[in-house]
């Protein structure tokens, strides 16, 4: 009887350990659902473009599937690494990100497309350092706020030190230029510092300065001013400055409630530029209608809500680093999703930003999956620490 008792206890512990090692089911399913939406949306939105330019209607679909496999492989590697490793090496990843942002600006190394030098060619593929910089900034700031908690909350220098790092990153991003990535990085950093408990006076003072600098950056470039004015009334110049937005709005209007059907979009037939990248949500709304568009919005709301829940669980378990990582990832995902959908629907001025997990782009997809895997690892470590307690 005693042997049977201890055997039963051992089996229960083994089962609990196996369950703890499994990723969070709701979070994993939400990520998979968005990846599948992205695969379907890109396949539909790019088929005519790929057939015309590459004589292969499935060119972008095939490449996206390769990116997807690489992203899942990278996510599996990230999930196997304990969060303590990221806490100890956050400054290393920040250094790598800054080095890549400098490297992409060197003539002959960085690849220039449409006046922007944002890509590093790696054989048949390209790397976009600004996407990696978002992940590196989240990991670095999470570690910094754990190590310098008292300074961040009570002293000016604790707040200004990460601001200096943020200034260096945003300066390099603006030289490319990549205003969209700059906005996301700055907003994520300020959001994380606010959640860390910085003094409200310090926060508001620097925030007002940052908003003023953003305003100066907008008015300093004529093309940004044109985008802003076109956003207020895109129909005033529908064939020039307002072209992208008007075509996107037409796609939304054609979708009505239930859409025109998968694959039946008209706007993807060379009317809407960047249909499979920045404006893939517009094509999805045209083909799947208001119901399909709101289903994607609901997936993002549920995903971000679950990430925040994992962060709260990490706080309760004493894993402050994991909590800050979750909050940073949630800010990146929510910021990019809001800006991309807002631009597509005319709520925000036109700005090139990918829709996480959905838009075409290898670096963005790999980084998004790595971020989600990092959150899943935080959840695993939190559950493990809860069992030990």
Question: 138-175 pLDDT, tens per residue?
Answer: 999 999 999 988 888 888 888 888 999 999 999 999 99
Is the C-alpha dihedral spanning 152, 155, 159, 162 positive or negative? negative
For 49-72, write each residue's pLDDT tens digit: 999 989 999 999 999 999 999 999
Alpha carbons 217 and 17: distance in angstroms, whole number? 52
- Residue 21 is predicted with a pLDDT of 66
Euclidean distance between CA atoms 352 and 364, whole angstroms: 13
Residue 282 is predicted with a pLDDT of 95
Neighbours of 33 (CB within 10 A): 16
Cα–Cα distance, 76 to 13 (Å, whole number): 25
Which of 216, 131, 225 minimizes the C-alpha distance to 181? Answer: 131
The closest alpha carbon to 335, from 126, 143, 190, belongs to: 190
The pLDDT of residue 181: 92
Q: State both tokens at 57.
A: 């209607």
pLDDT by residue, tens only, the chain of 389 residues? 444 443 443 444 444 445 556 788 999 999 999 999 999 999 999 999 999 989 999 999 999 999 999 999 999 999 999 999 999 999 999 999 999 999 999 988 888 877 788 889 987 788 999 999 999 999 999 999 999 888 888 888 888 889 999 999 999 999 988 888 999 999 999 999 999 888 888 788 888 888 888 787 777 777 667 767 767 778 877 777 788 889 999 999 999 999 999 999 999 988 888 788 889 999 999 999 999 999 999 999 999 999 999 999 999 999 999 999 999 999 999 999 999 999 999 888 877 789 999 999 899 999 999 999 999 999 999 988 765 44
How does pLDDT run across 171-209, given as a tens digit for each residue? Answer: 999 998 888 899 999 999 999 999 988 888 878 888 888
The neighbour count for residue 4, using CB atoms within 10 Å, is: 8
Both tokens of 275, joined, read: 């249909």
Report helix angle 200-220 to 222-232, nearest 10. Answer: 100
The whole-number pLDDT of residue 277 equals 86
Give the tokens for residue 334: 């929510």
Q: What is the pTM of this model?
A: 0.92
Q: Where are the domains of the chain?
A: 25-388
As a whole number of angstroms, the distance between CA 49 and CA 43 comes to 11
| Closest-CA residue to 355 (of 293, 286, 305, 307) | 293
What separation in angstroms does the CA of 115 have from each of 56, 118, 309? 27, 10, 41
For residues 262 and 310, give the distance between their C-alpha atoms in angstroms, rounded to a whole number: 35
Cα–Cα distance, 91 to 139 (Å, whole number):
8
Instruction: Please give the Cα distance from 136 to 151 (Å, whole number).
Output: 21
Distance (Å, whole) CA 379 – CA 323 = 9
Residue 30 CA, distance from chain mean position: 15
């Amino acid at each position: 009887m005693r042997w049977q008792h201890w055997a039963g206890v051992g089996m229960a512990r083994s089962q609990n350990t196996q369950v703890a090692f499994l990723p969070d089911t709701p979070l994993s399913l939400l990520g998979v659902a968005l990846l599948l939406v992205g695969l379907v949306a890109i396949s539909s939105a790019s088929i005519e473009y790929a057939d015309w330019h590459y004589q292969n209607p499935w060119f972008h679909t095939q490449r996206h599937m390769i990116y997807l496999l690489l992203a899942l492989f990278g996510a599996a590697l990230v999930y196997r690494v304990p969060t303590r490793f990221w806490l100890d090496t956050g400054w290393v990843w920040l250094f790598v990100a800054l080095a890549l942002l400098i490297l992409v600006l060197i003539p002959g190394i960085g690849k220039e497309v449409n006046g922007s030098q944002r890509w590093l060619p790696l054989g048949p593929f390209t790397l976009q350092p600004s996407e990696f910089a978002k992940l590196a900034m989240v990991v670095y700031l999470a570690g910094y706020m754990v190590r310098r908690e008292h300074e961040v909350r009570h002293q000016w220098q604790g707040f200004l030190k990460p601001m200096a790092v943020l200034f260096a990153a945003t300066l390099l991003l603006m030289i490319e230029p990549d205003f969209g990535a700059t906005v996301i990085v700055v907003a994520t950093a300020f959001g994380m510092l606010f959640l860390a408990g910085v003094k409200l006076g310090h926060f508001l003072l620097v925030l007002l300065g940052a908003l003023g600098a953003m305003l100066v950056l907008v008015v300093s470039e004529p093309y940004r001013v044109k985008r802003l004015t076109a956003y207020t009334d895109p129909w005033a110049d529908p064939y020039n400055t307002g072209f992208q937005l008007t075509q996107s709005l037409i796609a939304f209007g054609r979708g009505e409630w239930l859409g025109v059907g998968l694959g039946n979009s008209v706007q993807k037939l060379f009317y809407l530029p960047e249909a499979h990248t920045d404006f893939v949500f517009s094509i999805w709304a045209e083909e799947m209608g208001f119901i399909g568009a709101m289903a994607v919005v609901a997936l993002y709301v549920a995903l971000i809500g679950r990430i925040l829940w994992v962060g709260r669980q990490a706080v309760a378990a004493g894993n402050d680093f994991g909590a800050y990582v979750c909050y940073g990832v949630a800010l990146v995902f929510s910021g990019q999703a809001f800006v991309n959908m807002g631009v597509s629907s005319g709520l925000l001025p036109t700005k090139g930003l990918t829709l996480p997990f959905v838009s075409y782009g290898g670096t963005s997809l790999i980084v998004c999956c790595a971020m989600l895997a990092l959150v899943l690892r935080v959840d695993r470590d939190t559950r493990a620490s809860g069992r030990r307690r």
